[in-house]
Amino acid sequence: MNKIRNAFADGKAFIPFITCGDPDLETTERVVRAAVENGADLIELGIPFSDPTAEGPVIQAANVRALAGGVTTDRIFDLVRSLRRDITVPLVFMTYANVVYSYGAEKFIRTAQETGIDGLILPDVPFEEREEFLPLCRRYDISLISMIAPTSAQRIAQIAAAAEGFLYVVSSLGVTGVRSEITTDLAAILRVVRQHTTLPAAIGFGISTPKQAEEMAALADGVIVGSAIIRLLEKHGPDAPRFVGEYVKAMKEAAVAAGQ
């Protein structure tokens, strides 16, 4: 049985996003372990792509660094196998449709399941086109995770009703990246979501501080952070695991505080 929902079972979830291979896969593995040891409930693993349209400059640069370092999808599958020797929290891939197509959709999704991946996020695949991947994901018990954006409007109810795993609620218009404030009426979006699904919802895009994490966790079931973690990797390189661990601990504590 897919275990993504378990990540939210004990209260507010903290979900870090990590670009695989930035600066190298060995560091990625140590960062994932540091994040889990410090309270991460689910890990989003980004498979680098040359044209990541949903990403801001920080994560775009991480994609460039990872690809320049020679990371491949097969090497990332090997990373997941290694992590699964002792990491039990849910692992979710976030990547782009072309990565899946070029690998072979069924081969990709089957291998993801075999290595221990629980879910797949494809930000460039609109809800209306998910049927290209949904039957394969269901065959191999991989949750195809839907995103709801501020522009989803009348589609929010439809997306929520058909959701799997958890709902990724995008906090702001535009691409990923740190924001000083989040002004979207997320409470209104989440009211509609909760009218149409019992699945957990996590908010991502733009969250970087413990204060923001606490505010977002007060609205949703979890918080997703990417760019702030990638900045630590950019700054500290192979020494980043310790700093990422400290950051995850602070953000998890802030998220939990919102649920108390």
We report the CATH number of the domain holding residue 50 as 3.20.20.70
Instruction: Report how far residue 170's alpha carbon sits from residue 77's, in angstroms, rounded to the nearest whole number.
Output: 27
* 86 Cβ contact list (under 8 Å, min separation 6): none
Question: The domain containing residue 17 runs over which residues?
Answer: 12-144+205-258
Instruction: Report how far residue 245's alpha carbon sits from residue 226's, in angstroms, rounded to the nearest whole number.
Output: 14
pLDDT for residue 177: 39
Instruction: Report how far residue 182's alpha carbon sits from residue 163's, in angstroms, rounded to the nearest whole number.
Output: 24
pLDDT tens, position by position, 94-142: 999 999 999 999 999 999 999 999 999 999 999 999 999 999 999 999 9
Residue 166 belongs to a domain: no
Q: Is residue 164 within 8 Å of residue 144, measured between CB atoms? A: yes
Residue 2 belongs to a domain: no
Residue 179 belongs to a domain: no
Query: Per the structure block, which two tokens stand in for 243?
Result: 């700093």
Closest CA relative to residue 254, chosen from 224, 209, 220, 219? 209
Q: How far apart are the first and last CA of the chain?
A: 29
For residues 36-44, average pLDDT: 98
Residue 189 belongs to a domain: no
Q: How far is CA 42 from CA 7, 17, 35, 36, 167, in A?
A: 6, 9, 9, 8, 13
Query: Per the structure block, which two tokens stand in for 246?
Result: 């400290």
Residue 159 belongs to a domain: no
Query: Per the structure block, which two tokens stand in for 143?
Result: 């949750």
* Whether the model pTM is above 0.75: yes
pLDDT for residue 33: 98
Inform me whether the pLDDT recorded for 193 exceeds 90. yes
Query: Per the structure block, which two tokens stand in for 52?
Result: 């990541």
Q: Is residue 145 within 8 Å of residue 166, measured between CB atoms? A: yes
Report the number of distinct structural domains present in the chain: 1
Residue 4 belongs to a domain: no
pLDDT tens, position by position, 18-31: 999 999 999 999 99
Q: Is residue 168 within 8 Å of residue 120, measured between CB atoms? A: no
